[in-house]
Homo-oligomer: A and B are copies of this chain.
Amino acid sequence: MKLPEAWIISVGNELLNGRIVNTNLSWLARKLTIDGYLVRSALTVRDECDDIVWAFRTALDEGASLVISTGGLGPTFDDKTSECLSKALGRKHVVNDEALGMVREKYRERNMPLTEYRIKMAMMPEGAKPVPNNAGTATGILVEEGMSLILVMPGVPGEMKDIFERIEPLLRKRAPPLHYMSKDLLVGGVPESAAAPIIEKVMKKFPVYIKSHPSGHEIRKPILKINITASSSNREEAEKSVREALKMLKNMLAEQDGVIEGVEDAG
């Protein structure tokens, strides 16, 4: 089954000087995979307009069905994502009335006026729609561009999740309904290089994806976590593929003196 492809763009110098671990990326990648997308690539760029424009143009030009960005949506000078998205799309960067209403309402709670810095948070590419953010002030931005949907969110994880989950039903509607199944098999005593030909055989036989993750030491004390995943429009089919692949793997690894230490849901 051909899945729609998603690209994830992360904006922020703090991701490229190592001050922040990008947990937004893994959270979004997991969500999108379960929602029926193939996450094709992730681009992390600095708070520089040229770089942000490059990231959006690359994802769109490579044919992304869905482009999701996090970061660079607040009130400060270095929050440039919205303005640079307008540039990338060749659209005017305008105050969106609906977004301005949302921002004004939030500051009104505290009798705070709309300043230039606050109005900035209501500016977006012409034709875009704001997405409410119940966890903060910067609204999300949703834009259609040709066959692609673009969703722009702040980088603060609580705000990002609030906005994403509001849009998730729409994202699911645009993807084929999909059942995703994933198990981890833990095996001791077999080096990854000895498991490699076994994994190849099992993948040839069943419609699963298998990936081994070594821990321990390849030669002295090898421990492998072998992840088996299948996805299908039919839930039973996905479960059956994983179950049968797991059985064949266990048997073949046991022949190599592998010690099966357990099977876990890979969540």
Residues of A near any B CB (own CB < 8 A) = 13-23, 25-33, 39-47, 51, 74-78, 106-107, 109-110, 112, 115, 117-118, 121, 135-137, 156, 182, 191-197, 199-200, 203, 209, 211-215, 217-220, 227, 229, 266
Contacts and interface: CB of A to CB of B under 8 A. Distances in A.
Contacts of A107: 219
A96 to B, nearest CB: 17
Contacts of A213: 14
B76 A192 contact: yes
Given A41-B45, A112-B219, A33 B21 contact: no
A197 to B, nearest CB: 7
A253 to B, nearest CB: 14
Minimum-distance CB pairs A-B, first 7: A18-B30, A18-B29, A75-B193, A42-B44, A16-B39, A76-B196, A17-B33
Nearest to A218: B137
Contacts of A200: 76-77
B46 A29 contact: no
A31 B19 contact: no
Contact of A77 (B14, B109, B196): B196
Nearest to A76: B196
A135 B217 CA distance: 7
A74 B214 contact: yes
A198 B76 CA distance: 10
B22 A197 contact: no
Contacts of A218: 106, 136-137
A42 B16 contact: yes
A136 B222 CA distance: 10
B195 A19 contact: no
B14 A30 contact: no
A63 B193 CA distance: 36
A254 B75 CA distance: 20
Given A75-B192, A136-B214, A199-B77, A25 B44 contact: yes
Contacts of A46: 40-41
A197 B118 CA distance: 11
Nearest to A267: B19
A71 to B, nearest CB: 11
Contacts of A136: 214, 217-218
A211 B14 contact: yes
A194 B210 CA distance: 51
A40 B16 contact: yes
7 contacts: A16-B33, A18-B33, A40-B46, A76-B200, A77-B199, A112-B219, A115-B194
